[in-house]
Amino acid sequence: MEEERNAVSVYYNSLYRHGVDGKRRVQIPAKWRPSSPDVEFTLIVWPKSAHGPCLRVLPPEQMAKLMQDINEMGNDDPNKVVLKRFIGSESTQVALDKAGRICLPEAMAKLAGIKKHAVLVGLLDRFEIWSPDRYEEIRGEDQVMAGTAFSLME
């Protein structure tokens, strides 16, 4: 109980542009890093873009929620096994090194189009890693849809 009160919520907000080194390591912003060094993020190749996939990064509590949501789907729902198979095969756990970087697996970086530069985009409870070109395309679409999306919050 005491530990829960002392825990600080991490909000993944803002946008960061970072270089990707020759070993495919990318810096995670200091305010996005977990306080415990043994925490691992889940990287998922996220296909929901007409411009190509990005890498979605989930902290442990969001990965647990995703698994719970999938497990609550009916066993007769064909999407359940598709999601489990896709997420199971297109994800991996990554830990931060002492310099606050994560290493993007080669196949994942290639699918996401990430080479020498990456854009880290906060999604409040998780974040995404985009190739700069793909992000600029999706950002244009987001700006077109923002008015409608915000009107749903009123």
Q: Which residues pair with 127 in a beta bridge?
A: 57, 122
CA 88 to chain centre: 15
Give the residue among 13, 10, 27, 23 at the shortest CA–CA distance from 98. 27
Give the residue among 108, 55, 47 at the shortest CA–CA distance from 83. 47
| Domains of the chain, residue spans | 9-151
Amino acid 7: pLDDT: 53
Query: Is the predicted pLDDT of residue 44 greater than 80, yes or no?
Result: yes
Domain 9-151 coded CATH 3.40.1550.20: yes
Residue 127 in contact with residue 41, Cβ under 8 Å? no
Q: Which residues contact 105 (CB under 8 A, 6 or more apart)?
A: 24, 43, 92
Q: Where is 57: in which H helix or E strand?
A: strand 54-58
User: Rounded to the nearest 5°, which phi and psi values hold at 64?
Assistant: -65, -40
Pinpoint the alpha helices (H) of 38-91.
60-71, 78-89
Give the range among 15-19, 110-114, 134-138, 146-150 with minimum mean pLDDT: 146-150
Tell if the pTM clears 0.85, that is, is over it: yes
